[in-house]
Amino acid sequence: MSAALSVRDLVVGYGGAPVLHGVSFDVDDGTVVALVGGNGAGKTTLLRTVSGLLAPSAGTVHLDGRDLARVGVEDRVRRGLAQVPEGRGVITELTVEENLRLGGLWRRDPAGLRAALAEMYALFEPLERRRTTLGHQLSGGERQMLAIARALVARPRVLLLDEPSLGLAPLVVAQIMRTLRELCDRTGLTVLLAEQNVAGALSVADHGLVLGLGEVVASRPAAELAGDDALRHAYLGF
């Protein structure tokens, strides 16, 4: 299986204070990889660097074998890299439909865009009823669905999800995780899922990465990781 996303020796910091110390990993095509770790482990920093919002001081990011070093955030999106940021990232002043249309902004096939919107409404049914509702009037779960649906409208190769379960009820989280897994199985979408909800993330992931203080401390199949008591106690807090 080839790597859709490949990260090598990534070093990133804020104002000279390093947060990631030479992080390396691959995300294989069509798999879900859970990126887990406690607060301050560097999960969000890693995703922001992969999407291009942060510039690394060293290391590389490759998407489908192509180096993204000189590719800006907007062009990474066009190449198939989509990120759902932490805090959901719904533009609250825009309606559900407008948020979704933004997801397919750069697509040049109007028919394909319409089909993608219809598919998202079918996938996340609550959104269909709230097409003209402004983002700030949605519940937390609806906002998360909208943020994921919006990213999917672009038909990305790789989806980066940052803490999708944050602040949501367990039932809503379970529904979102289930939908995500089904989608990956059906479409071959590749997902890098950063989560503090370790059990939830590992339950839908193929592979797990444990990030501790800016380093990858474990990289194993998700089921194996979930069963490693020593590692869970040391880095994952459960």
Partner 1 sequence: MDRLVFLLGTGLARGTLFALFALALVLIWRATRIVNFAAGAMAIVGVYVGVAVTGLTGSYWWGLVATVLAGGLVGLVVERGVLRFASPRSPLSGVILAIGLVIVLQSLLGIAFGQQHEPVPAPFSDRPLRVGGVPLLSPYDVFVVVVALGLMAVLRLLFVRTTLGLQLRAAAFAPEVARLLGVRVARMRTVGWVLAAAAASLAAMLAVPKELGLNPHAADMLFVYAFTVAVVGGLDSPGGALLAGLTVGVVMSLVTGYLGATLAPVAVLALLVVVLLVRPSGLFAQAEARRA
Contact residues for partner 1, defined by CB under 8 A? 51, 53, 73-74, 77-78, 82-83, 85, 89-94, 98, 101-103, 105-106, 134-136, 150, 154
Nearest distance from C-beta of residue 48 to partner 1, angstroms: 9
Burial of 4 (C-beta count, 10 Å sphere; 0-12/13-18/19+): buried
Q: How far is the CB of 57 from partner 1 (least distance, A)?
A: 21
From residue 130, alpha-carbon distances to 85, 97, 134 in Å are 22, 8, 8
Closer residue to partner 1 (CB): 18 or 80: 80
Cβ neighbors of 47 (< 8 A, separation 6 or more) are 35, 83, 85, 160, 162, 192, 194
Q: In what order do the strands lie in the sheet with 158-162?
A: 81-84, 158-162, 190-195, 32-36, 207-212, 215-221
Residues 6+ apart with CB under 8 A from 54: 12, 45, 48
Judged by beta carbon, residue 79 or residue 181, the one nearer partner 1 is 79
Least separation in angstroms between CB 234 and partner 1: 33
Measured CA distances, 205 to 81, 110, 142, 178, 195 (Å): 19, 33, 23, 11, 11
DSSP state, 135?
G
**CA distances (Å), 162 to each of 8, 150, 177, in order?**
20, 14, 13
We find the least distance from the C-beta atom of residue 147 to partner 1, in angstroms, to be 9
Pick 135 or 214: Cβ nearer partner 1: 135
Q: Decide whether 37 or 89 has the Cβ nearer to partner 1.
A: 89
Smallest separation (angstroms) from partner 1 to the CB of 97? 10
Cα 204 to Cα 181: distance, rounded to the nearest angstrom: 6
CB of 78 to partner 1, least distance (A): 6
Q: Give least dist CB 166 to partner 1, A.
A: 15
Among residues 74 and 224, whose Cβ is nearest to partner 1? 74
Kindly list the distances between the CA atom of residue 108 and the CA atoms of 78, 113, 115, 154, in Å, as whole numbers in the listed order: 11, 8, 13, 11
